[in-house]
Structure 1
């Protein structure tokens, strides 16, 4: 089952950058595809996916241990980081622009994916502890 949480997407977009809204939605799609790909790779059974931006959740059954669950949780941010590193351009941005969601960016797709990965990791670490 797929559920789309509009409130989570709006909060994510406001924290990452409202100026580049299509890139935020594309980064969210990459995030969820990364999680589902890891779940399928670990031979898990995906029961539900809640697409809420960086606050999304994926319910997977038939995983072997806690390490597999951690891999599924952090594969979404890893996918965003890989896309950010592959596209390139983060190194040409000012450091202040990397943290400012209102900044005008030269390479927005890379920066948005990097911000998305960091926000998702912070939220996932908070939910673990």
Structure 2
């Protein structure tokens, strides 16, 4: 149940982009957890979100990352905010970019939404730093 029997070109591009942004480990976990019930949804997001929107050429992955974090924070999508903050390790968005996105959230979507998103982002950034530190200590 990991993917359609004959993936479309958009699905293949979406999976490539999804892996480049979220990392192989995350995508492999999500794919392994797919069931017959949610596989059509996984195909939909892979083709549309990743194969169309995230694979577009008008914005960089860094720009898409910043906008995505702001939108998810404004919507109160905590798990998705954390996931996309962690993904900045692959998109080139910086901690300063994340902070500025969340400052915009405060003004345009409300201080409580931004305050909560800052807490989530701080935890996700600390996790990234810890992982990077562990990797440096291995090498």
TM over 0.5: no
Larger Rg: 2
TM-score with structure 1 setting the length = 0.32
TM-score, scaled relative to structure 2: 0.30
For CA contacts below 8 A with separation 6 or more, give which structure has more relative contact order.
Answer: 1
Name the structure with the higher helix share: 2
